[in-house]
Amino acid sequence: MRTHLLRLAAHSTWADARLLRAVQSLSGDATAVLRELGHIRGAQAIWLSRITGGVPLLGVWPTLTPDELAQHGATLDAAWERVLETLTDDTLAQYVEYRNLAGAARRTRLGDILLHLFTHGQMHRGKANAALRAMGAEPVGVDYIAWVWEREGAG
């Protein structure tokens, strides 16, 4: 499971960077796209704080400019990289205790949290792409298989 989660993490970083570049090149109102991308980073910040016991860098639905998104994204990517390099099958099976956004106590395996985080991010990347299309811009290819092809030189 560790290897798969590390690949999903690398894909997420790649996909976030591709969408950020697209937003930075837009001339129109990208509020809807930035909302989805901000939420991806907000969720990453919230889950990181739950796992590490720290204070979240962002709220769950932050309003960010493209520059702020880039800055916070770089900080979060580096923090996640430090967490991910410590993963073992044993740590992935361990429970993380936290409070959800409604304040209810929860207990979830770390591996399940990470799988949720990566799939949740991909859903919001799809919504960001829908927002790009709605404003007349081209959607960005962020599919996992496109990442595989680019990384491995296949496809």
The reported pLDDT for the residue numbered 73 is 97
The reported pLDDT for the residue numbered 27 is 86
| Low-confidence stretches of the chain (pLDDT beneath 70) | 154-155
Q: Are 139 and 133 in contact (CB under 8 A)?
A: yes
Strand partners, 105: 99
The reported pLDDT for the residue numbered 153 is 79
Q: Are 2 and 91 in contact (CB under 8 A)?
A: no
The chain-wide mean pLDDT, for the chain, equals 95
pTM of the full structure: 0.94
The reported pLDDT for the residue numbered 97 is 97
Burial (0-12, 13-18, 19+ Cβ within 10 Å), 135: middle
The reported pLDDT for the residue numbered 155 is 60
Which domains are assigned to the chain?
2-145 (1.20.120.450)
